Amino acid sequence: MFQLLKTEGKARRGVFTCAHGTVQTPVFMNVGTQGAIKGALSAADLKNIGCQVELSNTYHLHLRPTDQVVRQMGGLHKFMTWDGPILTDSGGFQVFSLSSLRKIKEEGVYFASHIDGHKIFMGPEESMQIQSNLGSDICMAFDECIENPSPRDYVQKSVDRTYRWLVRCKAENARLNSLPDTVNPQQMLWGINQGGTYADIRVEHMKRIAELDLPGYAIGGLAVGETAQEMYDIIDAVEPFMPADRTRYLMGVGTPTNIIEAVARGVDFFDCVMPARNARHARLFTWEGAINLKNAKYQLDDSPIDPKCDCPVCRRYSKAYIRHLFIADEMLAMRLSVMHNLYFYNKLMERIREALDNGTFAQFRQEYSEKLARRI
């Protein structure tokens, strides 16, 4: 459960506790969609770079190796040898991202697998059953992530259906947790706020889902086409109606600047594929801004990626060496770069927490919010 320790403005410093440990918030969850970080990082690596929570995806693990296999292997924690908290996304985002392969109905969503085209059905109950088999600590409600912008009437109908799906998720999660052979009977269900960029629809939906008294709530359906300012405006509109004693999760966000700005607006949990994806393309984060390591100016640069960083990569390797690995198409380039970027994000959250502990978050925000958006 969640304990709010202190606030600075709307920014919150807290502690979240679940079956697999305690999480200091605000926190960035490291995304291992299929039970691994793309870029060849293991669970042991995650420990070494300060990861607190690992995130995996219901849809992808349902396809490979299947949630039944993961269950038979003792659950996702045992399968990937990660003993910390795990959050599983519901598969709802795939409803959005695989739009050409799906059909949405009241009972759920009919998919064609992106791997081999075979037919799949996933509704609220199926999503809960898959996530129960995985044994994650936090399971996300099955929802529809709406493209921005979308017509208002469609958004309203979608949000109403997402609410009905949430009621079904809650009932099924409770049923599964009560079974004697459940992998993780303490699994928590978090609800997801939707509504596109329509603030009034968002607010009404947030009020309705708050009445369901869930352990945590997320703002979903952002970072899918709207501007950063539109995203901040939606957070500002919804935040007053999010229960203060429950965790708040901004799904799929974002850049270091987005995170700092969302913390300032009262968000506790974040996730994004960006640090790992950017790293695989030689785009690396530093405390002075982002760099592209393939740039020729780094060919003879024997300094680390970031002289202010104490990650395992910056302690040992030069820009010139890692650049060479990228140019030579060596797999080690991705591994080292992903390790650095995820360490940077985890350290960013640590520094945000320290600033909140010390009552200096406003100064931290002023110094770094714009600086970290620079390209150098």
Region class of 249: left (phi > 0), else alpha (psi between -120 and 50), else beta:
beta
Q: Where are the alpha helices (DSSP H) in the chain?
A: 43-48, 58-63, 67-72, 76-80, 92-97, 124-134, 152-177, 199-210, 228-238, 256-263, 274-280, 319-327, 331-358, 361-368
Inter-residue contact 206 to 241 (CB < 8 Å) = yes
Please pick, among 67, 143, 268, 271, the residue that the annotation labels catalytic.
Answer: 271
302 a catalytic residue: no
Active-site option among 89, 143, 268, 306 = 89
89 is catalytic: yes
Q: What's the CA gap between 199 and 195, in Å, rounded?
A: 7
Collect all residues with Cβ–Cβ distance below 8 Å to 242 and sequence separation of at least 6. Answer: 193, 206, 210, 217, 248, 266
Q: Is 324 exposed, middle or buried (0-12, 13-18, 19+ CB in 10 A)?
A: middle
Q: What is the DSSP string of 43-73?
A: HHHHHHTT---EEEEHHHHHHTT-HHHHHHT
Q: Which of 64, 46, 31, 47 is nearest to 251 (CA)?
A: 31
DSSP states of 195-226 as a string? -TT-HHHHHHHHHHHHTT--SEEEE-S-SSSS
Active site residues: 89, 271
